Structure 1
Amino acid sequence: MKNRSIRIKGLLAMLMLPLATYAQDAGAAADSQNFWENAFGSIVLLAGAIVVLAALIAIVRLFNIIVKMEELRVLKEKGVEEIVEQYKQPEESWWKKFMKSATQYVPVEKEEDIMFDHEYDGIRELDNRLPPWWLWMFYVSIIFAAVYWTVYHIADGPSLIDEYNKEMEVAQAKIDEYMATKADAVDENTVTLLTDDESLAMGQSTFETLCMPCHGMNGEGNSIGPNLTDDYWLHGCDIKDVFGTIKNGVIEKGMQSWKDQLRPVEIQRVASYILVKLHGSNPENAKEPQGEPCSVGQNDDADSAPAEATPDEAPTEEATE
């Protein structure tokens, strides 16, 4: 009786292990796909779990019946005395009992009992049973196939393409979050021209607040700063040149450095606004050209000298050109 109880516990443990693994995988997939929001899908999974539980109960009951029938057969063949003698022998370890239950192997000394009568070239065949663990996995695979087919072909379970698109959305969100933290890492070597309306609008706001006193509201220039709308530039017309000029300033022209007042991304927006919106706008009262002709978008070899702001100097972006 004790041996049978141990066998039953081992059987239940082996049967529940694949089911628990599947449940964990299914739970992770459900979280990532919000599958539990689908009420029908939840009902299908519940029905599948009930089927699995019913199958387990049926297998255990069948196992008990087989064990009882085997005990009756042994009692008839060997008698009560021999059975009592077997119970007096040392109890086997739990591992050995488990392996016997899981494999149902036949000892070498008893192979004659399961040997077929026919032979081929001196080779005889044993009537071995399929290993119970293999049968358990086969039964579980059948149940899994039924549940899988129901979830993904009848219900609205996510397909491989849906799961791929979901993962791509998550990855893109992580990329956007990371790039947002790297906005202040822009410098003269990595800056690029911004053309989206939101960035240009923010650049315009900064320009009208800080740059207008020295370059005019429309970049036409005045007695302090040069014209930012024509094709003549003092320190280069490329986005990297304009960015560096605003960031470092030009001390001999009276333009302060803005790197301590503006973040790198804010300087990038101002420089992009100048090149995209102001350049070529031809405003009224534009100041006469200064510097050398330069096509916007090409690098200019003119040097940009760093400058430091002084208390008596008004902020100016004269050297932006």
Structure 2
Amino acid sequence: MGGARYLESLLRQTSAGIIIHSPAVRAFVTMPVENLQIFNAEEYSDVSELHALAELIGPYGMQHLSEHLMWHITSQVNELKKLVVENMDILAQVKSNLRKPNVMTQFAKRLSSSDNVLKRMTIIGVILNFRSMAQEALRDVLSGHIPFLMGSIQLLSDIISPATDTKDMLAISELTSAAGASCQVDPALVIALSNQKNDISAEEDYRLTTLLMVYVAVSLPSLASDPMSLYNQEHEGHRNNIHCVAKAINEIAAALYTIHKKDVQQHLKEFLVFASLSLLQIGQETDKLLVKNRESIYLILHMLIEDSPFLEMDMLEPSFPYVLLRNAFREVYRPIMMTTG
């Protein structure tokens, strides 16, 4: 009941750009729209409200809410995989031409549903950000009620290392996640995606996963032409919530590659290369309308690395010069700098 209310009344409004996820205020915020009356999302999603929710429904209620949210995420992942199948041959060509950016870009332009892919990834990212906020609220509430037990649970989290067996890692993560702790790999997402019914082999499903990440990476440049992609300095996000794509990429990739027992870090580094080379191609575009919000889109790479436990900023430099990110930050904050200067 609670999950349905939050999803219907709050999260779905984000697709229209009426409500945005604001990292700056750690809440969902309603943006002013002329001649449209809508509730103030921040009154239902700020830190104090989510603390009240965690107090009210407790860990079991939060788990039920999480399962409801995961169902919606798996539905989106299923649809994404269908889009990959429809574009399988072109995506294979894109992947095989990684070292030929111009050729790769030409193949990428032939993909039929890039906008659809990014919209679905944005929805996933919005849901995951809401869940992350709810988990943080649960952790804060439990830390106030059972501080000693929460300390022990935190110690369990600290023993996880890259050498930890996947099965053991997921068992520990499931326990710590139930108490609101964040995990490198979301156990709830792994379980939900593992339970999907597949009529294909594990090897073929792994191939779909790899091509899905390629699809997302080479679709990012199309966001630059959307006027709603402009970065909002006050809320530290984009009006169309595409900043949430970073979280979706990190968590979906970590869960899917964990299911297939693959190296998450290595695959995310590969994604970074595809995304970087694709975004660099925007600089060669002569149509100014297609690159209107180029700097705002560049920031997604920074968000991706900042949000990931597997990536570091120095991994980006070989494929995407950091000077471009620095210039992008300066450009998107220029109005504030001019006002305060």
TM-score bucket (shorter structure): under 0.3
Q: What's the TM-score once normalised by structure 2's chain length?
A: 0.20
Which structure has greater helix proportion? 2
Q: What's the TM-score once normalised by structure 1's chain length?
A: 0.21
Greater relative contact order: 1 or 2 (C-alpha under 8 angstroms, separation 6 or more)?
2
The structure having more radius of gyration, on CA atoms, is 1
